[in-house]
Amino acid sequence: MMIEERQKRILEELQKTPDLTVRELAKKLSVSEPTVRRDFTELHKKGFITKRYGGAILNMGAADREIPFLLREQEKSSVKTVMGAKAAELVRDGMVVMLDGSTSAYHLVPYLSRFKDLIVITNGAKTAVALAEHGVRTFSTGGQMITRSFCYVGEQAESFVKTINADLFFFSCHGLSEAGQMTDRAIEEANLRKVMFASCRKKILLCDSSKFGKTYFYNMGNLRDIDALVTEGEIPKEYQEMLKKI
* Residue 46 pLDDT level (bands cut at 50, 70, 90): confident
Q: In this structure, how many other beta carbons lie within 10 angstroms of the beta carbon of residue 5?
A: 15
Does the pLDDT at position 64 exceed 60?
Answer: no
Name the band, by pLDDT with cuts 50, 70 and 90, for residue 205.
very high
Work out the average pLDDT over 168-185.
94
pTM value is 0.72
| Residue 146 and residue 122 in contact, taking contact as beta carbons nearer than 8 Å | no
Q: What digits encode the pLDDT tens for the residues 177-190?
A: 999 999 998 889 99
Q: CATH number of 3-59: 3.40.640.10, 1.10.10.10, 3.40.470.10, 3.40.50.300?
A: 1.10.10.10
* Domain boundaries defined on the chain: 3-59, 76-240
- CA 12 to CA 116: how far, in whole Å? 41
Domains 3-59 and 76-240 share a fold: no
Above 60 in pLDDT, residue 245? no
The CATH topology of domain 76-240 is Rossmann fold (3.40.50)
User: Length of the chain in residues, anyone?
Assistant: 246
Report the pLDDT value the prediction gives residue 3, as an integer from 0 to 100: 75
Q: Residue 100: its pLDDT value, please?
A: 97
Q: What integer pLDDT is reported at residue 177 of this predicted model?
A: 95
Percent of the chain with pLDDT over 90: 65
Report CA-CA distances (Å) from 56 to 10, 11, 113, 159, 226: 10, 10, 42, 39, 40
Reply yes or no on whether the pLDDT at 142 is more than 90: yes
Q: Find the mean pLDDT for residues 81-94.
A: 96
Q: pLDDT tens-digit profile of 97-140?
A: 999 999 999 999 999 999 999 999 999 999 999 999 999 999 99
